[in-house]
Amino acid sequence: MDPSLRGRTLRRARARTLIAIVTAASVVAGAVLATLFWVVLTQTHASGMPTPVPRRGEVQIDDPSSAAVGPGAAARS
Amino acid sequence: MNVDISAPPWSGATGTRPTVADAVEDGFTAAGHAMGLVAMLLLTATVVLGTLHSGRVSSANWPRFAVHAVHRNVSLLAVAFLVVHIVVAIGKPRSGLSWPVAVVPYSTAPHPIWLGMGTVALELLLAAIVTSMLRLRIGFRSWRAVHVVAYASWPLALAHGLGLGATDRRLGWVMAVYLGCAVAVAAAITRRCLTVDADRDARRAAKAGQR
């Protein structure tokens, strides 16, 4: 085979391998980024993990705005 | 002690603490936005590669056909992420969106302009793909005309993302992603405008000879 033709064939084969590698890398990078973005955005959009809805009359001790928390709570409630 | 708790400040827009349904909805919202962001990144890569390809960029390791092949593969991947983005957005509980939104632009009540831009961007992308598949049948001029118009899908997609993602806009890293996309496309277009490809004169002479 003509050496220049052989060199061109080899370069084309190498380019095809590179195309496959870059395409596969794009798929993996896309999936990884989508997962990463989803995790971060879930925390941004969400108010966190599902928590039980307080029943009417139930005191939330972790809520600083609750009338039943802080000094003078008994007097306020 | 009987304390009435009404609309505590940590509650969401619904006025209640997050339930499982809220968490699912938030998960869908985040997934839709994440897929949209990745689609935007891939669309940017598609535009950059297409612009480089039309500027006849190549090297010993990266011949032109390789640049073109990656441009084609990345564009198909972008459409795949776009489809998931649309399915998640419409399938989201209480989304208020229906399937015609995906094909008929400006047909929905909430955010018709921004959603319509996304729909048009998708249709332009699909038109580019279909005409590329039929390129030998429809001829180079028709293919090129559609392909050039399809580049408008990038700014439309950017406007769609920026216009709709009110929550995401407040996040610095999301804005950095959009800014990075804009810089990459601006750089590729600038390079394309400033570069005179080596075979331009030969192509013009061949065109003139055909007339």
Give pLDDT, residue B116: 87
Helix or strand holding residue A23 (H, E): helix A3-45
DSSP state of B119: H
The span from the CA of A21 to the CA of A25, in Å, is: 6
Top mean pLDDT of A9-13, B105-109, B117-121 is at: B117-121
Q: How confident is the model at residue A55 (pLDDT cuts 50, 70, 90)?
A: low
How far, CA to CA in Å, does A17 sit from each of A9, A75, B4, B157? 12, 77, 68, 31
The span from the CA of B33 to the CA of A36, in Å, is: 12
Per mean pLDDT, which range of A14-28, B100-114, B126-140, B150-164 is the poorest? B100-114
Whether residue A8 lies within 8 A of chain B, CB to CB, comes out as: no
Give pLDDT, residue B211: 60
CB-CB contact of B40 with B178 (8 Å): yes
Find residues 24-63 of chain A whose CB sits inside 8 Å of chain B. Answer: 26-27, 30, 33-38, 40-42, 44-54, 56-60, 63
Q: Other C-beta atoms within 10 Å of A9: how many?
A: 12
CB-CB contact of B30 with A41 (8 Å): yes
A16-42 pLDDT, tens per residue? 888 999 999 999 999 999 999 988 888
Top mean pLDDT of A45-49, B14-18, B159-163 is at: B159-163
A35-45 pLDDT, tens per residue? 999 888 888 76
In the predicted model, what is the mean pLDDT of residues B108-136? 88
Whether residue A21 lies within 8 A of chain B, CB to CB, comes out as: no
Q: How confident is the model at residue A51 (pLDDT cuts 50, 70, 90)?
A: very low
Contact A33 B65 (CB under 8 A): no
Pairwise pLDDT comparison (B84 vs A71), residue with the higher score? B84
At B204, give phi and psi (nearest 5°): -65, -40
Whether residue A9 lies within 8 A of chain B, CB to CB, comes out as: no
Q: Is the ipTM of this complex over 0.90?
A: no
Give pLDDT, residue A46: 63
What would the DSSP string read from start to end of B47-81?
HHHHHHHHTT---SSS-HHHHHHHHHHHHHHHHHH
R_g (Cα) of chain B, nearest Å: 22
- Predicted TM-score of the model (pTM): 0.76
How far, CA to CA in Å, does A40 sit from each of A51, B27, B155? 19, 11, 25
In the predicted model, what is the mean pLDDT of residues B57-68? 84
How far, CA to CA in Å, does B195 sit from each of A74, B52, B56, B68, B71? 77, 10, 9, 18, 19
In the predicted model, what is the mean pLDDT of residues B95-103? 74
State yes or no: pLDDT of B185 exceeds 70. yes
For chain A, what percent of residues have pLDDT higher than 70? Answer: 56
CB-CB contact of A45 with B26 (8 Å): yes
* Closest CB from A38, A47, A56 relative to B34: A38
Q: How confident is the model at residue B4 (pLDDT cuts 50, 70, 90)?
A: very low
**Nearest chain A alpha carbon to B35:** A34
Pairwise pLDDT comparison (B17 vs B197), residue with the higher score? B197
**Nearest chain B alpha carbon to A74:** B1
